Chain A
Amino acid sequence: MIAHKDLVPLGRVGDSPQETFVLNLGPQHPAAHGVLRVLLTMDGEWIQRAEPIIGYIHRMHEKMGENRTWAKFLPNTSRIDYLSAMHYTHAFVGAVERAAKIEVPLRAEYARVITSELNRISSHMVWWGALLLDLGGFTPILYAFDDREKILDLLEALCGARLTYCYYRFGGLYNDVDDAFLKGTRDFVAHLRPRLKMYRDLVTDNIILRKRLTGIGPISADLCRRYGATGPVIRGAGVAYDVRRAEPYSVYPKLDFKIPTYSEADSMARYLVRMDEMEESLHIIEQALDQIPTGPFLGKVPRVLKLPVGDTCYAVEAARGRFMVRIVSDGKEIPYRVKLRTPSFSNLSLYEEASKGMILPDALAMMGSLDLVIPDIDR
């Protein structure tokens, strides 16, 4: 097979004019997953420069945070990255709890871990289907959505929402996890294990998929560090950085889980990291289901929440990487500043450098392996 480094345009004869053209990919393009626009300077099918242009779905979430109370901003957080809403609410709730020193009951913490990990699986399922769709395989996304549907049903029974959950509240949860949910989750874990094996056999080991992803779009650990890329992107570059381990939060320190890493740093490595993460999430869910104690699900929270003056950060491992909320309070009911550090933004920013010299289909395969959610970039 041709190695990727050999894929460069043939040498030009003498000083023949080098003709390039600008290809406007998006904001409405089947591979752009939403409203990402990439201005490609192309030499034939080779990309000379790919300039992502963002902002088409900017909703001023950070500014909105500055003119409503702490509690009123909570639903906004689930709309930043709609695919991993649990993690995003977790970060905001966690930041406020850290600042206001609110105790969270253990049962609520375990429930948060279970629902977060379920959400991680459902998010990875969408990514998996969409990546295969980018690669021209139409069938996997329907199987993925079939499995995701089961998670959505479980979470809908808990909090009434199927996508933009607002399940976590300051000091606990909106609603207690009932036995039906715990049993349903156990059944789901038993259901998904053989399905993941089937996906591995049918899709991951497919020779076309392997050829389309192996060696394509290498993103080194150094590049990740320079642009702040986190999550499966940096783990696919061989760095075992996971917020759940690096800055432990909730009850993750009590749970046993591996951080899947692959040192190849190509699209296949990122693919495999996410596939392994789904298995790890199942493992975490099982442990949490075994350990979840009985008790209250909501701690003591003051009626009128006024945070002490100060600056607090709280980071979580969202499905796409490190999501951090930084809140600055001036002692009022309304935040002084809410800063959202979203993983997709950093993961996209390395795209221009990483896609240089790739051919168009490979660049799109790499974009798929970054798992971008555009509202998460624009917020």
Chain B
Amino acid sequence: MSFLQIEPVRILLYLVGICAFVGANAAYLVLAERKGAGRIQRRPGPNEAGFGGILQPVADGIKLLAKQVMVPPGTDALLFRAAPLMVMAPPLMCLAMIPFSDSIVARHLNVGLLFVFSFGSINVMALMLGGWASRNKFAIISSARVVSQNVAYEIPMLLVVITLLMVTGTMDLNEIIHQQGGGIWHWNLFKVWVNPLMPVTFVIFFICMLAETNRAPFDMAEAESELVAGAFTEYGGMGFGVFFMAEYANIVVGCSLATVLFLGGWQSPIGVLSGGLWGAGWFLLKLYGLIFTVIWIRWTFPRTQFYSLLNLSWKILIPISLFTLLLTGAMMKLPVVYHQFF
């Protein structure tokens, strides 16, 4: 047994590793977002701090840290302070379940998927509390929006995941990835013989993920042209910074989940070279591909209306995901029924 496999060392190593991964991602995805936005908008983006703007996140961090953390009078001080912590903790917990490669996973759990979803749902509570504790009308409107939006989108997302669970038969994330080995056509996304609507379920999952993470075009929580800064209106300094970082941490979690469930996780698209660090490489490649799509969408589309957002979920996504659930069940059971009778 090597030194790294001693349990306390392992826990410490992964704790530091995940915190560093989330921190680095949150910081540099902000830069990537601003650079990406710059490219889409035909301007260079931040390019002053460091070489090509590479030190911009450091500069931003110093600025945010140097600011006074102000708790405005009249707010619920305890909740106001607690909300940034509550928004940051769930993505950290979720990432403990995500297998970065065959062997790199913080905690192997046979109900990993359930774990990720249960912690993922706490995020909305933090936003709601932050908005409520602010005692600001804009923030309270935003809190109300966040709750109804997240409730609406949790349902189709879970229905899609149930469909997937019927196909995989396990909640163990690493096992789900193992099943998708052997090339791109084995990925759940392309398993059309199991369910011809599999690509559609992926699209639903992706849309729900955008809505759950409050990203454009569903950024009702922040909606700066309507609600100033939504739930974060009263936050300044690092309080705001943590909300901001949590948004990106949530995107990382959501995109890694989409990668694991639909895009084969660390499996290579050509069927070979998916072990060890190669696997981690493939995983990160797919992950950042999805994250880039998220950024791309944000800078391309205007914001939707709140009621059409809810309509989309209740009237379109939920019926479709229910139908795919039914179809998958039928497709799985029909051969059995067929063999029984013929």
Q: With a CB–CB cut-off of 8 A, which chain A residues contact B225?
A: 30-31, 133-136, 364
Any chain B CB within 8 A of the CB of A1? yes
Query: Do A139 and B300 contact each other (CB < 8 Å), given the known contacts A133-B225, A360-B141?
Result: yes
Any chain A CB within 8 A of the CB of B37? yes
Among B42, B137, B302, the residue within 8 A (CB) of A136 is B302
Is the pair B137, A21 in contact by a Cβ cutoff of 8 Å?
yes
Is the pair A139, B41 in contact by a Cβ cutoff of 8 Å?
yes
A7 CA to B228 CA, complexed, in Å: 24
Provide the A1-39 mask, 1 if CB < 8 A to any CB of B, else 0.
110000100000000000001010000011100000000
Query: Do A209 and B228 contact each other (CB < 8 Å), given the known contacts A136-B223, A142-B41?
Result: no
Any chain B CB within 8 A of the CB of A143? yes
Among B42, B216, B217, the residue within 8 A (CB) of A146 is B42
Q: With a CB–CB cut-off of 8 A, which chain A residues contact B223?
A: 136, 361
Among B43, B141, B311, the residue within 8 A (CB) of A1 is B311
Closest B residue to A31 by beta carbon equals B225
Query: Do A132 and B226 contact each other (CB < 8 Å), given the known contacts A2-B311, A7-B307, A21-B137?
Result: no
Is the pair A208, B217 in contact by a Cβ cutoff of 8 Å?
yes
Any chain B CB within 8 A of the CB of A138? yes
Closest A residue to B306 by beta carbon equals A361
Is the pair B141, A132 in contact by a Cβ cutoff of 8 Å?
no
Closest A residue to B302 by beta carbon equals A137
B234 to chain A, nearest CB (A): 15
Q: With a CB–CB cut-off of 8 A, which chain A residues contact B43?
A: 142
What bracket does the count of chain A residues touching chain B fall in? 20 to 34
Provide the A193-214 mask, 1 if CB < 8 A to any CB of B, else 0.
0000000000000101101100
Provide the B216-236 mask, 1 if CB < 8 A to any CB of A, else 0.
110100011110100000000
Closest B residue to A363 by beta carbon equals B226
Q: With a CB–CB cut-off of 8 A, which chain B residues contact A2?
A: 307-308, 311
Any chain A CB within 8 A of the CB of B103? no
Q: With a CB–CB cut-off of 8 A, which chain B residues contact A211?
A: 304-305, 308
Q: Which of A143, A360, A364 has the most chain B CB atoms closer than 10 A to its own CB?
A: A360
Query: Do A1 and B305 contact each other (CB < 8 Å), given the known contacts A138-B299, A142-B41?
Result: no
Closest B residue to A135 by beta carbon equals B302
A206 CA to B297 CA, complexed, in Å: 13
Any chain A CB within 8 A of the CB of B191? no
With A135-B303, A208-B217, A208-B303 given, name 19 new contacts (CB 8 A): A2-B307, A23-B138, A44-B144, A133-B225, A135-B302, A136-B216, A136-B217, A136-B303, A137-B300, A139-B300, A142-B43, A143-B42, A206-B302, A208-B301, A208-B304, A211-B304, A212-B305, A360-B141, A361-B305
Leading 3 A-B pairs by shortest Cβ distance: A136-B303, A137-B302, A135-B302
